[in-house]
Amino acid sequence: MKYAIYSSETGLNYFEYHESLESLKGTKFEGIITEDKLPVVLDGKGGYFKFDKDDFRFEKLVESDGCPLRLEQMYYKNLDDFKLGWMSPDGDTYSCDYTSHTKAAIKIAEKYLPGSKYPERALGKAGWLKIIDSWDGTQREHGQFVYSLSGKITKRQADRLFDLGLYNNEEVRQLISDCENDW
């Protein structure tokens, strides 16, 4: 299988790449995409787009029998300007955009909690923090909200949240207050 790799601010994305009608056999696009539309990239959401090697986000084409990227490539680990994503109990962050927390949780759980039936919940039960966009449509600016399923936070997470400038968020102060005697 060929994949087109694209960059984003939070990690790399991969999409099926097809340059022949033969490679589309067995897909739902067989008989829909014509020769003049090739090459194409399947967007993973039920659509496709014409491949453009000059797209500023395009990185490279790769061949792989499975997922062509490691977790840390898809969701940058410990990115200096981390904004949204997941934080391990050890304070490691995995970046994602505001709509990709579930997708990221699936990949993170595959690596750290294999066999989890509900990845987001499994991460939460294992002490991972979910850092989400707090914008509700009425505020002037987007912010970050730190969510702990267990209501707990580790000292390493608290230290990392300080480094990220989130130490003064109301929910973080409450988590620290509730947990600092356990450290």
Same domain, 139 and 105: yes
Task: Classify strands 40-42 and 129-133 as parallel, antiparallel or unpaired.
Answer: unpaired
Residue 136 banded pLDDT, cuts 50, 70, 90:
low
Same domain, 81 and 126: yes
On average, the pLDDT of the chain sits at: 94
Q: What is the pLDDT of residues 123-134, one digit of tens each?
A: 999 999 999 987
Same domain, 117 and 159: yes
Same domain, 134 and 174: yes
Same domain, 117 and 170: yes
Q: Are 140 and 150 a contacting pair, CB within 8 Å?
A: no
Same domain, 62 and 100: no
Same domain, 54 and 98: no
Q: Work out how many domains the chain is built from and give that number.
A: 2
Within the chain, strands assigned E span: 2-7, 12-18, 40-42, 48-50, 58-63, 85-87, 93-95, 129-133, 144-148
Residue 161 φ then ψ, to 5°: -60, -35
Same domain, 46 and 77: no
Last residue of some domain: 50, 69, 88? Answer: 69
Domain span holding position 122: 73-182
Same domain, 32 and 61: yes
Same domain, 77 and 65: no
Last residue of some domain: 46, 69, 92? Answer: 69
Same domain, 43 and 87: no
Specify the pTM.
Answer: 0.88
Q: What is the pLDDT of residues 35-94, one digit of tens each?
A: 999 999 999 889 999 999 999 999 999 999 999 999 999 999 999 999 999 999 999 999
Last residue of some domain: 49, 69, 89? Answer: 69
Unique residue bearing structure tokens 């966009």: 133
Same domain, 103 and 173: yes
